[in-house]
Amino acid sequence: MRELMRSLPPGNRLIQGLDPDDRDALLGVATPVEFALGHVFNEPDDVIEHLHFIDSGFCSSVAVLADGRTVETVMIGREGVLGVVASVVPHHAHTRSVAQMAGTARRVEAGRFRALSARRPCLRDAAATYMARLQGELEQSAACNALHHAGQRFAKWLLRCHDRVEGDTLNLTQEYLASMLGSQRTTVNEAAQGLQKAGAIAYSRGRITVLDRSALERAACECYRRGDD
């Protein structure tokens, strides 16, 4: 994924994959926006009013439990669109959608997208194809969380972050990583130290630098490669 994303011009891959007429029609109703680290797009049960086609940075959909604990369900960067479920019918959010790295997006009113896609089937099909990919990712994650140990999942998650950023440095705190992985901070620290000893990363004070991507890929579970299909 990383090589493909880097080989394309900047911007959203889903939009780039549209025919010129459909792309122009979509961009004609889109508003360029910037978002900061930690920006919350939706909380659980909010009406999803906008679709955000991510151009840079990345976001997470995060399940929030009654006791306040959180765990990431999906990650969305410039390969996709945040709030895509509302592209078909009006919908409420099931999770919290939050920016994990500052970036930019093209914002489209959900109702306006539905009206546009009704006239342009290729837009509807592009959104449906992306939703099917997200469903596959969710199904794979269920198996991953049940069967793969924290070190493998940590390596997978770092690779997925690395795919979506420029450069090799990720500013990610222990607390945040533990929240995303649904693990204790001590577990995340042990996993990070293991990858550092293997020469895959450098890890210090919430900053992770990828030193050897091949080593990181070897440490990750098979789910990373499945998610790259």
Q: What is the pLDDT of residues 159-191, one digit of tens each?
A: 998 988 888 988 877 777 877 777 778 888 888
Q: Is residue 96 helix, strand or coil? A: strand
pLDDT at 89: 93
Chain position carrying tokens 């090799």: 168
pLDDT at 8: 53
pLDDT at 150: 86
Instruction: Determine whether 139 is exposed, middle or buried from the number of CB atoms within 10 Å of its CB (0-12, 13-18, 19+).
Output: exposed
How many alpha carbons lie under 13 Å from residue 26 in its C-beta half-sphere?
30
pLDDT at 1: 47
Which residue ranges of the chain lie beneath pLDDT 50?
A: 1-7, 229
Per the prediction, the chain carries an average pLDDT of 89
Name the amino acid, one letter, at 96: R
d(CA 60, CA 198): 28
pTM: 0.88
